[in-house]
Amino acid sequence: MSTRLINFTLNGQPVSTAIEPHRNLVELLQRFDLFGARESCGQGLCGCCTVLVDDKAVSGCLYFAVWVDGKSVTTIENLDADGQLSPVQQAFIDCGAFQCGFCTPGFILMSQQLLKEHPNPSDDDIRHYLSGNLCRCAAYPEIIEAVKQAAKAGAKAPA
């Protein structure tokens, strides 16, 4: 199958690769040994595949890889690029906001976006904003606590 050459920024680094047009963003990231975005439901319903494209959260399983051409892609693996966990990551640890950890990167990226838009979210804001992410271990009460703690810590999404 024919491929297309795409150039994009991946976690701050310019990269290029040739990829078939039917591949999704999760598959593209796997080529770069990034496995934090995970395809689970395959329908954009669970949020396990969440990736930031130009600072906006997208479902990597429904997002064609070629669409990132010319764009900037940020994955969970970049949040501690300076060696420090982000406040949201730290809050997830402090509040025990995960069990198996499979959905956790998606929740953390969405929570960062939430706090960027609503620095002081109510419980309802949090529930509404994170309703597109599912957690089968059902760490939801702890996730809500974690988002509130991160908000208190003055969490900022990565620029």
Indicate whether 5 belongs to the interface with other proteins (CB under 8 A).
no
**CB neighbours of 144 closer than 8 A, spacing ≥ 6?**
123, 126, 127
Least distance (Å) between residue 4 CB and other proteins = 16
89 neighbors 129 (Cβ within 8 angstroms): no
Indicate the residue among 72 and 99 with the shorter CB distance to other proteins.
Answer: 99
Strand order in the sheet with 72-74: 13-19, 4-10, 72-74, 50-53, 56-59
12, 16, 21, 41: which one binds other proteins (CB under 8 A): 41
36, 60, 87, 121: which one binds other proteins (CB under 8 A): 36
Q: How far apart are CA 159 and CA 156, in angstroms?
A: 8
Indicate the residue among 7 and 43 with the shorter CB distance to other proteins.
Answer: 43
Query: Under DSSP, is residue 101 helix (H, G, I), strand (E, B) or coil?
Result: coil
28, 66, 143, 157: which one binds other proteins (CB under 8 A): 143
Q: How far apart are CA 59 and CA 139, in angstroms?
A: 21
* Site track for other proteins across 48-87, x = CB under 8 A: x--------------------------xxx-xx----x--
Q: 11: alpha, beta or left, given left = phi > 0 and alpha = psi -120 to 50?
A: left
* Site track for other proteins across 86-115, x = CB under 8 A: ---x--xxx-x-xxxxxxxx--x-------
Q: How far apart are CA 58 and CA 55, in angstroms?
A: 9
In the complex, which residues of this chain contact other proteins (CB under 8 A)? 22, 30, 34-38, 40-43, 45-46, 48, 75-77, 79-80, 85, 89, 92-94, 96, 98-105, 108, 126-128, 130-131, 133-144
